[in-house]
Amino acid sequence: MDAAHALEKRGHLVAAGLCLRLTALGAASALGYAVAAGRIAGRPIFSQWGFPQNDFLVFFLLLFVPLFLLTLVGACWMFRASDDSTPTLWVILTFALLFRLVLLPTAPVLSSDIFRYIWDARVQASGINPYLSTPADFDAEANKGDPLFRQQNRPFARTIYPPLAQGAFRLARALGGERVNAMKGLMLLGDLLTLVVLLWLLGRLGLPRSRIILYAWHPLVVFEVAGSGHVDALAIPFILLAVLLWVRGRDFLAGVSLGAAVLLKLFPILLLPALFSRRRYWVLVACGIVILLGYLPFLPDAGLQVLGHLPRFLSDPNEKFNPSAMGLVVLLASLVSGSPVYWAAWTGRLALLLTLAWLAWQRTETPGDLLERVWVVAGAFAAFTLTLHPWYLLWLVPLLAIQPRAAWIYLSGAIVVSYLLYVVPPTGRALISVVEYVPFYALLAWQWHRQKAGSPVALRPELAEQMR
């Protein structure tokens, strides 16, 4: 009895020590976010048309690196300790909420996309179909002094945001007016819902819930959601819910959830082949029905124009930002063609479509199969796209809490250096790509070589057997 009591006491002391160390890490991170908030409040961030100022980008990167390292230290502690105690979880979640609340009242720091959300809400409130107009249509003398109009980074483009996102924009306007904080607050609710679903999913897979720290404290998530208010935050919980429902065998509901994610941000459609297999037709059917129903109210007026800016985005040779493998294709194609971006774009699209077609033909039966295919989608997207903004990786961060992979953890931190592409001369852009992608692809190759890219994570016994 004494030995058991001593062992229990030792366990409590270890847990208390872990909580204290986490608290110290959280306090240091909170100080970093407070410094960021003070810097943002002290000086204007955006010039006209929504590009961040040069001096702020340097400040941001110098701050981001230690915040990222602090998150990795905390994640290492949690993954090694496998601690799933309630006090530890509360420390993690309390600081996660604090980080977000510190940045919530600040101006957007890295992207002006949120101003398009507010503009789309204004257009809808005026009774105009958002897929049939552009900000440039309102380029009257009276509007040129409107701050909202001046912050539209693509005034010539029709909106690219799908119907459920449009509904969310209008809801934020109805509740809080045309205030940035109102729109950011709605995105923050989506982020908090992601935390809830991820906790649920980790429990379902038999993993310690404290692993959520990798998402909850990740500075990419905090800055891009609480700081910039990207709509991706609303789509991510539906992606995770689709995975959770798939694991539980609820194929139709998984398709419904994935369809909802697509109606909030178009990119989750790439995940359909991963969830769909030759035996899971209901995922495909349900997802298609939800997407059709979402677009249906806009179809009579807009027809195919409901695709908004997407066709132009895909065909515009100037739409190139931070490519990885396709950047190399552009370089090689420039030696033999006067339209290297055009050839690189079609090469990437063909490669991506072939990858997705291959995934759709595979049998996806276990959670292990699904996770492996999701990482294949992520890798194909990162390799074959010509545009990879930092917030495009947000949806992968919660999956790293389930199955941490060194290459993707590295890229989730390193991708923020791509913001320097706004300010560095062309001669310096190659160095940015080297910093981002050479270690990333090296780590992917290392994982493949050691055959650990698809190694099973620690699950409940009944699910662990399925993942072998």
**DSSP assignment string, 92-154:** HHHHHHHHHHHHTTSPPSS--HHHHHHHHHHHHHTT--GGG--GGGG--TTTTT-HHHHT-S-
Pick the closest to residue 275 from 310, 295, 307, 248 (CA basis). Answer: 248
> Token pair of 112, please?
């002006």
State whether residue 52 is helix, strand or coil: strand
pLDDT score, position 280: 80
State whether residue 321 is helix, strand or coil: strand
pLDDT score, position 50: 54
Q: What average pLDDT does the segment 180-197 reach?
A: 97
* CA separation for the pair 352, 440 (Å, rounded): 19
pLDDT at 140 over 80: no
Pick the closest to residue 268 from 277, 256, 285 (CA basis). Answer: 256
> Token pair of 72, please?
């990795």
Q: Which residues contact 268 (CB under 8 A, 6 or more apart)?
A: 235, 238, 239, 258, 261, 262, 395
* CA separation for the pair 62, 64 (Å, rounded): 6
| pLDDT, greater one: 97 or 155 | 97
| pLDDT, greater one: 304 or 90 | 90
103-112 residue pLDDT tens:
999 988 888 8
- The conformation of residue 69, written as its DSSP 8-state character, comes to H
Cα angle at 343 between 335 and 424, to 5 degrees? Answer: 70
pLDDT at 4 over 80: no
Is-contact 96 219, C-beta < 8 A?
A: no
pLDDT score, position 152: 86
pLDDT score, position 466: 41
Q: Which residues contact 379 (CB under 8 A, 6 or more apart)?
A: 444
- pLDDT exceeding 90 applies to what percent of the chain? 62
> Token pair of 418, please?
């791509």
* CA separation for the pair 122, 278 (Å, rounded): 44
Is-contact 382 324, C-beta < 8 A?
A: yes
Q: Which residues contact 341 (CB under 8 A, 6 or more apart)?
A: 317, 318, 320, 330, 386
State whether residue 452 is helix, strand or coil: coil
pLDDT score, position 412: 97
* CA separation for the pair 174, 171 (Å, rounded): 5
The β-bridge partners of 387 are: 321
State whether residue 263 is helix, strand or coil: helix
pTM for the whole structure: 0.92
pLDDT at 341 over 70: yes
379-391 in b/e burial notation, b at 16+ Cβ within 10 A? bbbbbbbbebbbb
33-75 residue pLDDT tens:
999 999 988 765 555 455 666 778 888 999 999 999 999 999 9
State whether residue 237 is helix, strand or coil: helix
State whether residue 248 is helix, strand or coil: coil
Pick the closest to residue 50 from 123, 108, 118 (CA basis). Answer: 108
